[in-house]
Amino acid sequence: MAVPKRKMSRSNTRHRRSAWKAEAPKLVKTVENGRTVYSLPHRARVVEDSQGNALFLEYKGRKVADA
């Protein structure tokens, strides 16, 4: 494991830590069956039946896994 050769000052430590910012996820808006749905791009989405039960996972219009 790497060990620093010298102590890092409190000011430098806090400045380095403050540079890391969390980003809000970028959602994609689509309309399905008259309903607006927001989803994450490049992620498999859950396909549900009319009662809201999960049926399977879909990616780019193809079934990729059972739910």
Q: What is the pTM of this model?
A: 0.49
For the stretch 16-30, pLDDT in tens is 888 888 888 899 898
Domain ranges of the chain: 24-66
- Rounded distance, CA 29 to CA 20, Å? 27
For the stretch 45-61, pLDDT in tens is 888 888 989 999 998 88
- The percent of residues in the chain predicted with pLDDT above 90, rounded, is 31
Tokens of 31: 């309309």
CA 15 to centroid of chain Cα atoms: 27
